[in-house]
Every structure is written in structure tokens, then in C-alpha cells.
Amino acid sequence: MDVIYLNGPSSAGKTSLARALQSLLPGYYLHIGIDMLIEMMP
């Protein structure tokens, strides 16, 4: 499993970069916010 973590201030382009990576990289990637990630952890 690969994890790509994007961090930065508001309006830095994290979502745009995540969407661009999803369209360019092979395979499937899940784009979730940090709040959702923390909720998913055991």
C-alpha cells in the first residue's frame, strides 16, 4: 500500500494536486481529508 500525504495551508492547492495525481498515477487512490483519516483509525 502506498500513502501520499499532502500537507499545507488553506488554498495551497492540495486538493488540485491530489486530483491531478489521481488522474496521472496508475491504480486507484482514495482522497480523504485528515479529519476523516483520524476517524478511521482504530
Cell, residue 34 = 485528515
* The predicted structure's pLDDT at residue 12: 95
Q: Considering its fold, how many domains does the chain have in total?
A: 1
Contact 42, 34 (CB under 8 A): no
CA distances (Å), origin 33, targets 6, 17: 10, 13
- Is pLDDT at 22 greater than 80 in this prediction? yes
* The predicted structure's pLDDT at residue 32: 85
Identify which has the larger pLDDT, 1 or 17.
17
What is the torsional sign of CA 17, 18, 23, 27?
positive
CA–CA gap between residue 5 and residue 26 (Å, rounded)? 17
Cell, residue 18 = 491530489
pTM of the complete model: 0.67
Q: Could you list the residue range(s) of the whole structural domain that residue 33 is in? A: 1-42
Tell me the pLDDT band of 2, cut-offs 50, 70 and 90.
confident
